[in-house]
Each structure stands twice: as C-alpha cells, then as structure tokens.
Amino acid sequence: MPHRQRLAILGATGSIGMSTLDVALRHPDRFRVVALTAHRQVERLFQQCLAARPVYAVLNRQEDAAHLQRQLRDVGCPTEVLWGDGALSEVAAAGEVDAVMAAIVGAAGLVPTLAAVRAGKRVLLANKEALVMAGALFMAEVKAHGAVLLPVDSEHNAVFQSLPERRTGDLRENGVRRILLTASGGPFRTTPIEKLQAVTPEEACAHPNWVMGRKISVDSATMMNKGLEVIEACWLFGVPADRIEVVIHPQSVIHSMVSYDDGSVIAELGNPDMRTPIAHALAYPERIAAGVAPLDLCAIGQLSFEKPDFLRFPCLGLAYRALELGGTSPAILNAANEVAVEAFLDGSLPFLAIPRVIAEVLESLDGGAADSLEAILDADARARERALSLLPSRNWRPDES
C-alpha cells in the first residue's frame, strides 16, 4: 500500500472539521487521521475518535480530557487524550503528522497553525484569522520553513484553482488583472436596514446557502467574513487591496474569479458544499470524490451579481480601513469583531452595533508594527479589552450614530 497522508484536524468538531473528517474517511487508502482536536465538544469528539481511531485527541480543559480518556478506554479505543493550548501546537508539529487542517475558528487558531508551518507541514488553511492577524509574519515563516500552504476557504480555493498553474513573481507579470471574491450577501441582503436592529442570533445564523458555525454565520451576515477574506487574499496571493473586488453573487455557485489582461475571466463553480475545496486541498494536485452532488446549472437557471452596499455592510469597509492602517490594525479589527459577535450571540449587543464597536476600537488603538508574534498577540489582547469596556457603557440604541 502506498504511503497514506497522515492528517491532523485542528477544530475537528466544527463544520469544516466535520467535513474534513467526512472526506478523509471516504478514502482510507489515502488518509490516516492521526490527531483530532476540539474546544469543549466532548461527545462529538468521542464519536469522531471511534470512527477514525486517531493517535491523539486534544481538548481545551483537563477535566474534559480526563472524561474523554475514560470513555475511550471503556470501549477499547487506544487514542491518547491531551489537553491545553500547548498540546494543540504539539500535535500540529508532531513528527507523525504530514498535513494539518487548520480549522480552529478565530484568533485561537493562530499559534497552533504557526506551529504547523514552522514544522514544515502541508497546511490546509481554513483559519483565515491566522493571515488576518499575522499575514507578513505568517508568510515569511511559510517560506523560511518550506511549508506547503493550500487555501481551504471556498473563495481562496477558487482563486487558487483559477490562477495560472505555472506562475512566477507578481501576479501582474502573469497577466492577472484582479481577483474577484464572491459573496452571497447573507440572510439580510435585501432586508430593510431599519429592521436589522431587531434581528436575532437565530435569524443571523440562518445562512441561505451554506452550513456554517454560529460565529462565521454572523460574520457572513455582516460581511465581515468577506472583509477578512480580502485581507487573507492580499497575503495569500501577494496583491494589493485595490486589485481585489468583492462581488455579491446570491446563488453561491461561482465561488470566486480571476480576471486577466486579455479579457478572460476564469471562475470555479460548484455546489455550496465545503467538502469540495477540502477535497481539493487534501488531494492536491490530484482530484478525489468528496461526496458532493454534481452541479446542475439548468436547475439553477440563472447566475446574478451585485455590487456590495457599504452602508448596509459597514464591516466590509472597516476591513479595507484596517488594511489601509496596516501593522497590527487587522489583528485589532479581528479581535474587536470576535468580542462584538460573541456579545451579539449572547444577546447583550444589537446586530447593528457590531460594526460600531469595531469602528471605535479600530480608530482608538494604535496599530503598531506587526513584526513579532508577541506584538500581534498584545494588539489582540488590547483590542479585546477595549471592546469589552465598550459593551456595558452604552445602550447602543438604534438611533445612535
């Protein structure tokens, strides 16, 4: 039997992690799942361990890890259960791991993803925050340690597939004019703005096309997700923000496009199922079955496009502003967004106040240079502290500007 790719899935119990495990288990001749990690979802991780029988499982808390270890021993599963942030980085860099699916949501994914990069792994990047927070540092580490970086976000994976297969230097030298990132517009694309103040977390998480976690679903509803993807694309593909255009495409069939100097526009199409880009990254440069239904263009009928409304989606503009400010400003943007979204999800902040909190934090803190992991994490901590200080200080009334 040929060598199987040994895989660690960071964030295994989230939507990306579950889809990754689904694809990997469809191809036991190609993939061996060595490690699965989760934050607190013990029961789901237990079931995944029974299905994949990894060498390691990692949880955030010691008591959860002890509970899972007892469960696994009772059923004869040999998986060793570890706990804590250090264990995340250990399994990401472990010698028995070839590839790492970096699917931990938010800033928490930065350090273990960097550990995988510094160990020279094949890194399947679904955690966009790693590049949002530490783009220059992250890409320098990829180069320094010979890591292979493959994008998993559907948009960036689509761009990757649509770029010239053989390219050198600046994409402009390869005839690339611009990158077009598509966005569904989320659940409130046509909702009157005056009604958005009263939307509930359940409504914000009801994405019309994609099945995603709660945090990323809210980011899609505010279009902060697309703003973070613009920042990520700048670092992944080495292009400035003014050559990245966001296009609203409600059907979510075209996942992104690349425009060329000769007038060609190359797009990647498919059903809105994350198993497609996951399978592409897992098997690259080969193609494997992902369990995704074939795309039926005749059933879809039409594909439509719109320009984004920055008044409706101010978070998109804030992401471009963070890029303009540079340094650690994108890390500040991301941290403030995470705090604001969590406050919205727990009912303590109205939906329309999310961008207001982010804007105040972004403009009130000095970004500084993003030249070390310590500086980036310090900016992240300062932004969280500032955002948290704003939450109880205002009523965030609908008429507040």
* pLDDT tens digits, 111-130: 999 999 999 999 999 988 89
Whether the per-residue pLDDT at 399 is higher than 50: the answer is no
pTM of the model: 0.92
- Look at residue 36 in the predicted model and tell me its pLDDT: 98
Domain limits, the chain: 5-152, 159-273, 314-393
Distance between CA atoms of 10 and 121, rounded to whole angstroms? 13
pLDDT tens by residue, 50-83: 999 999 999 999 999 999 999 999 999 999 999 9
Amino acid at 314: P
Give residue 351's pLDDT band: very low, low, confident or very high (50, 70, 90).
Answer: very high
pLDDT tens by residue, 186-196: 899 999 988 99
Q: Which fold has domain 5-152?
A: Rossmann fold (3.40.50)
pLDDT tens by residue, 236-279: 999 999 999 999 999 999 999 999 999 999 999 999 999 999 99
Q: Which residues of 104-129 are buried (b: 16+ CB within 10 A; e: fewer)?
A: bbbbbbbbbbbbbbbbebbbbbbbbb
Whether the per-residue pLDDT at 167 is higher than 90: the answer is no
Q: Which long-range contacts (CB under 8 A, 24 or more apart) does 107-111 make?
A: 107/133, 107/331, 107/334, 107/335, 107/338, 107/380, 108/39, 109/10, 109/11, 110/134, 110/376, 110/377, 111/85, 111/373
- Look at residue 2 in the predicted model and tell me its pLDDT: 55
- Look at residue 396 in the predicted model and tell me its pLDDT: 64
Using CA atoms, how far residue 152 sits from 86, 139, 276, 278, 295, in Å, is 24, 16, 9, 6, 19
Whether the per-residue pLDDT at 377 is higher than 60: the answer is yes
**Percent of the chain predicted with pLDDT > 90:** 87
Residue 282 burial by CB count (10 A; 0-12/13-18/19+): exposed, middle or buried? buried
> Which of the listed CATH numbers 1.10.8.60, 2.40.50.140, 2.60.40.10, 1.10.1740.10 matches domain 314-393?
1.10.1740.10
Q: Which of 115-124, 162-171, 229-238, 339-348 has the lowest mean pLDDT?
A: 162-171
Reference 169, options 83, 239, 120; nearest CA is: 239
- Look at residue 75 in the predicted model and tell me its pLDDT: 97
Whether the per-residue pLDDT at 149 is higher than 70: the answer is yes
Whether the per-residue pLDDT at 1 is higher than 60: the answer is no
Between 356 and 206, the more confident residue is: 356
Whether the per-residue pLDDT at 140 is higher than 60: the answer is yes
Q: Does 5-152 match 314-393 in CATH topology?
A: no
